[in-house]
C-alpha cells in the first residue's frame, strides 16, 4: 500500500470513528505513518480533499460488497434481504467498533462543504442505483424500480443509524423482514 492509499484508509477509519470535525490532519498523518508533506502532496486541497477521496474509497468498497451479495440471488427480494442480513452480521462483529461509513461525514459537512456533500450524494445514489438495477433485472418498471431503490437505501441507512444508536441489530433485521412486503407487485 502506498502513502496515498494509507492516508485515505486511515482518514476513512478516523472519519468513521470520530467524524470529520473530530479528526485532525496531524492525527491522520501520525496514524498513517506518513510524512506530513505527503498529505499535501497527494491532497493539495488538504483535509477536505482527503475526506472526498475517503468517501469515494469507502463507497467503492460498499458498492463492491453490495454487488457481490446481490449477484448471489436472482430473486431481488432474497438478494436485498441477504445484503441487509450481511450488514447486520458485520454490525455485530465489526461496524460497532468502526462507526458509520459515510453518514457521519455527510451529516457533519453537507451544510458547510458543497464538494463533500456532492461526494456523499454520489455515493448514496450509486448504492440506490444498484438496488434499482437489481429490480429492473427482475422486470420491475424502471420508474418504480428507481423509487424503490431510493426507499430501500433509505430504509437501510436509517436502520443502520438506529442499530448503531440502540447497539442492536434489531432495526436492520426488521427492515430485512419488510422487504418482501415492499416489493410485492
Summarised one tens digit per residue, pLDDT across range 26-83 is 999 999 999 888 999 999 999 999 999 999 999 999 999 999 999 999 999 999 999 9
Give the distance, in angstroms, between the CA of residue 133 and the centroid of all CA atoms in the same chain.
18
Which architecture, in CATH terms, is 52-183? Answer: Orthogonal Bundle (1.10)
- Please give the average per-residue pLDDT across 85-99, as a whole number: 76
Return mean pLDDT, the chain.
92
**Alpha-carbon gap, residue 1 to 146, rounded angstroms:** 37
pLDDT for position 100: 65
- Please give the average per-residue pLDDT across 134-140, as a whole number: 97
153 and 132 Cβ atoms separated by less than 8 Å: no
pLDDT of residue 95 exceeding 70, the answer is: no
Amino acid at each position: 500500500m502506498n502513502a496515498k492509499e494509507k492516508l485515505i484508509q486511515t482518514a476513512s477509519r478516523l472519519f468513521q470513528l470520530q467524524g470529520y470535525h473530530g479528526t485532525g490532519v496531524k492525527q491522520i498523518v501520525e496514524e498513517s505513518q506518513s510524512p506530513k508533506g505527503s498529505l499535501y502532496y497527494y491532497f493539495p486541497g488538504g483535509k477536505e480533499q482527503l475526506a472526498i477521496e475517503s468517501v469515494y474509497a469507502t463507497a467503492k468498497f460498499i458498492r463492491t460488497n453490495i454487488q457481490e451479495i446481490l449477484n448471489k440471488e436472482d430473486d431481488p427480494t432474497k438478494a436485498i434481504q441477504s445484503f441487509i442480513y450481511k450488514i447486520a452480521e458485520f454490525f455485530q462483529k465489526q461496524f460497532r467498533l468502526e462507526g458509520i461509513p459515510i453518514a457521519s461525514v455527510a451529516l457533519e459537512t453537507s451544510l458547510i462543504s458543497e464538494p463533500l456533500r456532492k461526494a456523499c450524494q454520489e455515493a448514496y445514489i450509486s448504492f440506490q442505483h444498484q438496488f434499482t438495477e437489481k429490480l429492473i433485472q427482475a422486470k420491475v418498471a424502471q420508474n418504480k424500480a428507481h423509487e424503490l431503490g431510493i426507499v430501500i437505501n433509505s430504509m437501510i441507512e436509517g436502520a443502520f443509524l438506529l442499530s448503531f444508536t440502540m447497539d442492536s441489530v434489531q432495526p436492520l433485521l426488521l427492515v430485512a423482514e419488510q422487504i418482501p412486503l415492499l416489493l410485492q407487485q
